[in-house]
Chains A and B, each alone.
Chain A
Amino acid sequence: MKHFKPTTRMSDIIHTNYLLLPVINRFGVRLGFGDKTVEEVCREKKLNAGFFLAILNAYHDPDYFPEKELQGFSTHLIIDYLKKTHDYYREYVIPKVESDLENLMGDCQGNCRNLRLIRSFYDKYKVELLNHLNEEDTRVFPYMTDLQRVYDKEIPMADKVRNFSIRNFEEEHTDIDNKLFDLKNIIIKYLEPQYVDNMCNAFLYAIFQLEQDLIDHARIEDKILVPKIMLIEKAVKS
Chain B
Amino acid sequence: MKRKIIIMLDSDILSRGLSSIIGNLPETEIICVAPPEELEQYAGITRSVIALVIRPEQLARYTSFVHRLGQTNTVQVITFGLPGADRTKGQSITLDMDGESIRQLILKVLNVDKNEIEPPPSMQLSERETEVLRLVARGYANKEIAARLFISVHTVISHRKNITEKLGIKSISGLTVYAILNKLIDTSGQNPETLI
Q: How far is the CB of B170 from chain A (nearest CB, A)?
A: 4
Q: Are B40 and A186 in contact (CB under 8 A)?
A: no
Take A124-B196, A178-B170 as given contacts and tell me if A114 and B181 are in contact as well, using a CB distance cutoff of 8 Å: yes
Interface residues of B in 17-42 (CB under 8 A from A): 29, 31, 38, 40-42
Q: How far is the CA of A117 from the CA of B180 in the complex (A)?
A: 9
Selected contact of A64 from candidates B42, B173, B178, B193, CB within 8 Å: B42
Q: Are A179 and B181 in contact (CB under 8 A)?
A: no
B177 neighbours in A (Cβ, 8 Å): 117-118, 121, 182, 186
Interface residue? B174 (CB, 8 A): yes
Interface residue? A106 (CB, 8 A): no
Q: Are B171 and A175 in contact (CB under 8 A)?
A: yes
Interface residue? B45 (CB, 8 A): yes
Q: How far is the CA of A176 from the CA of B18 in the complex (A)?
A: 41
Q: Are B182 and A190 in contact (CB under 8 A)?
A: yes
Interface on chain A toward B: helix, strand, loop, or mixed SS?
A: helix
Q: Are B181 and A190 in contact (CB under 8 A)?
A: yes
Q: Which of A65-73, A97-105, A132-140, A161-169 contacts B (4 or more CB under 8 A)?
A: A65-73
Q: Are B171 and A182 in contact (CB under 8 A)?
A: yes
Interface on chain B toward A: helix, strand, loop, or mixed SS?
A: mixed
Closest-by-CB residue of A relative to B182 is: A190
Chain A, interface size: which category? 35 or more
Q: Are A69 and B170 in contact (CB under 8 A)?
A: no
Q: How far is the CB of B34 from chain A (nearest CB, A)?
A: 12
Interface residues of A in 175-200 (CB under 8 A from B): 175, 178-179, 181-183, 185-186, 189-192
Q: Are A185 and B44 in contact (CB under 8 A)?
A: no
B171 neighbours in A (Cβ, 8 Å): 175, 178-179, 182
Q: Are A63 and B178 in contact (CB under 8 A)?
A: no
Interface residues of B (CB under 8 A from A): 4, 29, 31, 38, 40-45, 167-171, 173-174, 177-178, 180-182, 192-193, 196
Offer 5 A-B interface pairs, CB within 8 angstroms, sorted by A. A65-B42, A66-B38, A182-B169, A182-B177, A223-B43
